[in-house]
Amino acid sequence: MRRHLLRLQSLAKKSLKAGAVVVVGVLVYHKLNGNTRGNVLHASWTTNYEPNVKWNSNWDRREPESLVRPLKSSKESRVKDHQEKIENQTPTASRHLILIRHGQYFDNANVDKERFLTSLGRTQAELTGERLKELNLPYTSLVSSTMTRAMETANIIHKSLPHLEHTKDDNLREGAPIPPEPPLGSWKPEQKQFFQDGARIESAFRKYFHRASPEQTEDSYEIIVCHANVIRYFVCRALQFPPEGWLRLSLAHGSITYVAIRPSGRVTVRALGDHGFMPVQKISFS
């Protein structure tokens, strides 16, 4: 292995002498003390042979094996029965969550009922509704926060998707989900706000983010109209990233964030704050 490393170093030096800019990623194979499982691969920029954070496959507490009593007998009939129970708890459909941030609104008002959409915000909501219609997905539901700007945005989107019933959920209201890291000096909610809002927003996450039930036979496509802080926290939690990093993400008004949850519990983000369907002059963030 040392011979290979020396060879790579020699090639890099020759390339640099020739005036080229070279990025050399050295992949090192490490033999596990005679372990028959083989070699472990890691990159040159780390000495860590294990993932920093391993994926928790039972993050939503719906892993089929966790829903069935452990097998205590090795009898063939018991094993077969146990396997059938696991299969009965195994989902076959995927859940697709389309998270929409509300349009631009009058944020200098003192009470929520006066924080309605600006003219630009209403246009953004119309463009988002048209985009959702163009995507032509088999949407199954439309739910929004109970805050004025979110309800107004959802009402405008509903005009493009009139077949959906518009329901409301108070837990989707904007708030301070968890103290951000790094802190933002200009934004310092009271500590009690994190305790109050954090529990509520986490409750909303657990309500909407989970794999499908075994009874669900077809994929579902749910539109959720809410707020930037809520969506950013949801994404971090769904991907099992440190939730304190939610403030590092930025979402445009009327943007689309698309999260898919597979039957296996795997989570993928197909779009994060997508606003490419809006003309440049219609894009805003605050």
Residue 54 lies in a domain: no
CA distance 22 to 5: 16
User: What are the backbone angles phi and psi of residue 261, rounded to the nearest 5°?
Assistant: -120, 115
Domain with 128 in it: what CATH number?
Answer: 3.40.50.1240
Residue 50 lies in a domain: no
Q: For the chain, how many structural domains are there in total?
A: 1
Residue 77 lies in a domain: no
What's the CA angle centered on 206, arms 201 and 208, to 5 degrees?
95
Residue 87 lies in a domain: no
Residue 223 lies in a domain: yes
pLDDT at 256: 98
Range of the domain at 210: 95-282
Contacts of 185 (CB under 8 A, 6+ apart): none
Residue 111 lies in a domain: yes
Residue 4 lies in a domain: no
Q: Round to the nearest angstrom and report the end-to-end CA distance of the chain.
A: 54
**Averaged in consecutive runs of 10 residues, what is the pLDDT profile of the chain (286 residues)?**
56 51 43 50 66 87 89 70 86 97 94 95 98 97 98 98 97 95 80 87 97 96 98 98 95 98 97 98 95
CA distance 107 to 86: 50
Residue 262 lies in a domain: yes
Give the type of residue at 128. Answer: T
